[in-house]
Structure 1
Amino acid sequence: MHTGIDEALTPPFSSAHILATWNGTASVEDASKAFGFSRAKGYDLIRSGQFPCRVLRIGRKTRVVTASLLRVLESGVPEYNDASVGGHSTS
């Protein structure tokens, strides 16, 4: 029987909690919190192509790939995007 006690004891931005409760993509705000910085800083990093994990632009929305976020949190090795939010190459 699932009691929810384990979920209540797991920090909200731990890898285990993210894996158990987040979908395939996450908001920039939640992903930024998982890395320890503000939503505004997250969007600044996305615009400059420096967000530490893969980011998708879907229509007018920007989403963070949860699997990429988990890999970065566990390894400490960033997976930078090749393009900024506007779709223009950063190189």
Structure 2
Amino acid sequence: MHIGESQPVSAQYSPAHIRATWNGTGSVEDAARALGFSRAKGYDLIRKGRFPCRVLRIGRSSRVVTASLLRVLESGEPEYNDART
């Protein structure tokens, strides 16, 4: 799975904006939008263990690790959760 580099990322989901405004984790919805897919697709990928960056389960909630998301956005390559297969 290669993250599409040709897809335009809105300024709200650019790596510079994420770095400046997000804390240590972000919502699945925001991370999915930054990666170019829907909230529903994001949760589907988490359920399947194929979300392209590190996800923390906190109780019944899921949070995406900001540093991991930034590495994926900058490299275009998935990082965690068996996403490379």
TM range (shorter): 0.7 to 0.9
Matched with 1:29 is 29
* RMSD, matched Cα: 1.3
Q: State, as a whole percentage, how many aligned pairs show the same letter.
A: 79
Work out the CA distance in 2 between the residues paired with 1:46 and 1:80: 11
Structure 1 alignment gaps of length 5 or more: 1-9, 83-91
Runs of 4+ in 1 over 4 A off after TM superposition: none
- Secondary structure of the residue that 2:62 maps to in structure 1? strand
* Higher RCO structure (Cα 8 Å, ≥6 apart): 2
Residue type matched to 2:72 in 1? V
State the 1:80 CA deviation.
2.0
- Secondary structure of the residue that 1:12 maps to in structure 2? helix
Calculate the TM-score normalised by the size of structure 1: 0.77
Structure 2 alignment gaps of length 5 or more: 1-9
Matched with 2:76 is 76
Work out the CA distance in 1 between the residues paired with 2:28 and 2:70: 14
Calculate the TM-score normalised by the size of structure 2: 0.82
Matches within 5 A, 1:7-22: 11-22=11-22
How many residues were matched structurally? Answer: 73
Residue type matched to 2:14 in 1? S
State the 1:45 CA deviation.
0.4
State the 1:60 CA deviation.
1.1
Matched with 1:3 is none
Matched with 1:85 is none
Matched with 2:47 is 47
> Max radius of gyration: which structure?
1
